[in-house]
Structure formats: C-alpha cells, structure tokens
Chain A
Amino acid sequence: MFAKAITALAALCLLSGGALAQGGAKPTDPQIAHIAYTAGQLDIEAAKQTLEKSKNKDVRAFAEDMVRDHTAVNKQALDLVKKLKVTPEDNDTSKALTKQAAAKRAELAKLSGAAFDKAYIANEVAYHKTVDSALENTLIPSASNAELKNLLQTGLKIFQGHEQHAEHVASELK
C-alpha cells in the first residue's frame, strides 16, 4: 500500500510537472484558477469520503477542517474570477489531478477502520505537499494578475498549515 501511494504520488508529480512544463509554456491565469479550484474541490471530496467512513474523532475533525477551509478558499477564488471576468479553463494538470484523486478514492473505498484512517491522512500529507510545491514553483510564479497571485500566496500558507496539521494527526495515529 505504501509503495502504491508513492507510485501514485510520483505519477502525480510527473503528470502535473509534465503538463505544466508542456512546450515550455507557463499556465495562463484561467488555467491556474482552474487548477487551484480543482485541487481544493478534490480535497473536499476526499474529506467527504472520510466523513462517511471514519469513526476516528481526530481524523473526522481534520476532514471537517478541510471541508470548511477549502470551501472558504474556493468561494474567494470564485468571487475573484467573477470580479476579474476570468473564465477558469480546464487543462491537462486539472485532468491529471482529478484522475489521480478518483484512483485514490477508489483505493480508499476498499479500506476501513484504522487502515482507512492511516491511508487517508498519509495521502493528505502527500497531496498537500504536491499542491504546495506546484503553487510555490509553478502556479504563483506564473500568475500574472496581482490579486490572483495574492490569493494563491494565501492559499499556499493555508495548505502548508494543512500539511503540518495532517502530519500531526498522522503522528497521533501511530
């Protein structure tokens, strides 16, 4: 299972990196907005699966935090794209993220109890790490609109906080 998670993560890094590096072109603001929004939605879906399956108090509290925070961030993102009259544009990175998340959801669906909790939290650590590095290295430097860049920077701090929070929950599960 561990090896599987690493493989999925490596694939995600390659896919997102590959898609972002495609033809050396930087993602455009409409694409960046789509990627950031998608990343948030996928984490909300993962949390909802957890709220259906997990009975662990700390894991459920973490999942509730993810739903609340990512819903709040995505609301800001939607308000901003509306204000800027930008239409988020689907792209290979968003598609790759969605595909990977669906595969992970299917994998987690087969687990239950402590095995599920551990796998969910381990994936949350890995997922936030991947999104943080995409934000830091690609999305923030590529964003041309100052307000979008600003929201992504706030998003990075939030996601880094989630990563630490997930690491803390993971250490409690051991």
Chain B
Amino acid sequence: MTPMTPGRTGLVAVALLGLWFAPAHAETIHVTIENLVFTPTEVTAKVGDTIVWDNKDFLAHTATATNNDWNVVISPKQASKLELRKAGTFDYFCRFHPNMKARLVVTQ
C-alpha cells in the first residue's frame, strides 16, 4: 500500500543531483540587461554554474522563470546572481516588463 518505490527513486535522484552540485569547473556567465534587452538572449550553462545579470538600465528588472522555478530581482545599475541547481530549458522574462524575454538552457 505504501508507495515506497517512488519515494526511493526520489531519494536516489536527490542523491545523484547532489553529486553534480560541486562540479570541478563551475563557471560564471554574464547576461547584460541594457535598454530593456537581455544579451545574449539565449545562454547555455551547466548545473553548478552561476548566471550574473548585469543591469545597465536605470530601472529595476527581474529574471523570472516562466515555470516559477526562480525569480531574481536586479536593481538599477546593479548585478544579481543565480546558482544553477537544476537542468532544463528555462524561458524567462522580466515581471515588470514582460516584453523582455530570454532563455537559459541548463545541462548536467
């Protein structure tokens, strides 16, 4: 009756994920926000890498995953970062200006 198998699978998955948390060559990848545009529009990174959004605008922006996995607020003329913990293709946008769109592809 108790759904043990999915639970165990989950535990194993979490444990495996943990192995990937400390990659040997974690990189920092910069995305510039200028004039309400994310550049580059699409970035490929690995789990463990860090994305830094450099906001050159005089406005606050956000980098918000459309699936709500993460939401980063970037103050005017400041930078904010996000350490990538999950693989997948993430479309993201600015909550304040939804016409600003970009994509982050995270591989294992």
A binding-site residues for B, Cβ under 8 Å: 65, 68-69, 72-73, 75-76, 154, 157-158, 160-162, 164-165, 168
B70 within 8 A of A: no
Pick the contact of A164 from B35, B59, B76, B99 — CB < 8 Å?
Answer: B99
B52 within 8 A of A: no
Q: Are A68 and B36 in contact (CB under 8 A)?
A: no
* A160 and B99 in contact, given A72-B76, A154-B35, A154-B36 (Cβ under 8 angstroms): yes
What are 7 A-to-B residue pairs whose CB atoms are below 8 Å? Answer: A69-B96, A158-B36, A158-B59, A158-B97, A160-B97, A161-B94, A168-B98
Within 8 A of A (CB), among B82-100: 94-100
* A72 and B99 in contact, given A154-B35, A158-B36, A161-B94 (Cβ under 8 angstroms): no
Q: Are A157 and B58 in contact (CB under 8 A)?
A: no
Pick the contact of B96 from A65, A75, A154, A160 — CB < 8 Å?
Answer: A65
Within 8 A of A (CB), among B63-105: 76, 94-100
Q: Are A68 and B60 in contact (CB under 8 A)?
A: yes
Q: Give how many A-B residue pairs fall within 8 Å (CB-CB).
A: 41
- Tell me, in angstroms, the Cα distance from A61 to B50 when the chains sit together: 29
Q: Are A161 and B58 in contact (CB under 8 A)?
A: no
B binding-site residues for A, Cβ under 8 Å: 35-36, 58-60, 76, 94-100
Pick the contact of A157 from B60, B76, B95, B99 — CB < 8 Å?
Answer: B99
* A157 and B98 in contact, given A72-B58, A72-B59 (Cβ under 8 angstroms): no
Name the A residues within 8 Å of B60 (CB-CB): 68-69, 72
Which A-chain residue is minimally distant from B76 (CB atoms)? A72
Which B-chain residue is minimally distant from A79 (CB atoms)? B58
Of all A-B residue pairs in the complex, the 10 with the closest CB atoms, nearest first, are A161-B97, A164-B98, A157-B36, A161-B99, A65-B96, A72-B58, A72-B59, A160-B99, A164-B99, A165-B98
How near does chain B come to A132, taking the closest CB pair, in angstroms?
Answer: 11
- Tell me, in angstroms, the Cα distance from A157 to B100 when the chains sit together: 9
How near does chain A come to B29, taking the closest CB pair, in angstroms?
Answer: 25
- Tell me, in angstroms, the Cα distance from A75 to B59 when the chains sit together: 11
Q: Are B35 and A161 in contact (CB under 8 A)?
A: no
Name the A residues within 8 Å of B98 (CB-CB): 161, 164-165, 168
How near does chain A come to B100, taking the closest CB pair, in angstroms?
Answer: 7
How near does chain A come to B34, taking the closest CB pair, in angstroms?
Answer: 10
Pick the contact of B35 from A65, A157, A160, A165 — CB < 8 Å?
Answer: A157
Name the B residues within 8 Å of A160 (CB-CB): 97, 99
If A157-B35, A157-B36, A161-B98 are given as contacts, then 20 extra A-B residue pairs at C-beta distance below 8 Å, sorted by A number, are A65-B96, A69-B59, A69-B60, A69-B96, A72-B76, A75-B58, A157-B97, A158-B36, A158-B59, A158-B97, A160-B97, A160-B99, A161-B36, A161-B94, A161-B99, A161-B100, A162-B97, A164-B98, A164-B99, A165-B98
